[in-house]
């Protein structure tokens, strides 16, 4: 899965592939082997380059606040699917919400036929040992849930369709 991350005022190109229970991450052209494990709550253990890091990740709006020691970094993720959805905000058609990266559907927060407000969480996707709440950009009626709890999905897979009408 290819994504772009904004950390502070810098953009970083990232490619992530899962291999043998860990991840191969290409960050701005540098390849890293990364082993990531969720501890408890919002805490994670990351091992890369022979060094271990314990971090916490807090999700707020569309950003992640990653803390390591006394440092905090605001991280925003972008990919072609997300940018495409953002371009549709205000458009008349249904919003097709796709997975930003491979993961597992941890929880579904709505049912087909439910009305969802803009920004409301629809499901929780666990990716890279982090739980990410996936929300609707525009709101509307949930017309299709394309996944079930516990299902593993590929990056770009259809998750939910929300019709603004």
d(CA 92, CA 48): 45
97 in Cβ contact with 22 (< 8 Å): no
State whether 43 and 93 are in the same domain. no
What's the order of all strands across the beta sheet hosting 103-108? Answer: 130-135, 121-127, 103-108, 152-153
Look at the chain and count its residues: 165
Tens digit of pLDDT per residue, the chain (165 long)? Answer: 788 888 877 888 888 888 888 899 998 889 999 998 888 888 989 999 999 999 998 888 778 899 998 889 888 887 644 444 444 444 457 888 888 778 899 999 999 999 999 889 999 988 877 888 888 888 899 999 999 999 998 877 889 999 987
Q: How many domains does the chain have?
A: 2
State whether 92 and 159 are in the same domain. yes
State whether 58 and 109 are in the same domain. no
State whether 98 and 146 are in the same domain. yes
State whether 108 and 154 are in the same domain. yes
- pTM reported for the whole predicted model: 0.50
| Domain membership of residue 32 as a residue range | 2-78
State whether 91 and 141 are in the same domain. yes
d(CA 22, CA 143): 35
As to burial, measured by CB atoms within 10 angstroms (0-12 exposed, 13-18 middle, 19+ buried), residue 105 is buried
């Amino acid at each position: 899965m290819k994504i772009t991350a904004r950390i502070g005022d810098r953009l970083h190109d990232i490619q992530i592939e899962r291999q043998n229970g860990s991840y191969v991450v290409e960050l701005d052209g540098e390849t890293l082997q990364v082993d990531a494990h969720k501890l408890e709550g919002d805490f994670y253990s990351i091992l890369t380059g022979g060094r271990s890091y314990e971090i916490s990740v807090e999700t707020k709006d569309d950003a992640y606040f990653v803390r390591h020691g006394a440092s905090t970094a605001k991280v925003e993720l972008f990919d072609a699917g997300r940018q495409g959805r953002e371009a549709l905000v205000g458009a008349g058609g249904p919003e097709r919400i796709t997975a930003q990266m491979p993961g597992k559907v941890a929880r579904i927060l709505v049912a087909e036929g439910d009305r969802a407000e803009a920004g409301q969480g629809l499901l929780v996707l666990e990716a890279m040992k982090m739980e990410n709440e996936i929300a609707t950009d525009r709101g509307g009626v949930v017309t299709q849930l394309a996944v079930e709890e516990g299902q593993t999905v590929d990056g770009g897979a259809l998750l939910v369709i929300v019709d603004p009408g």
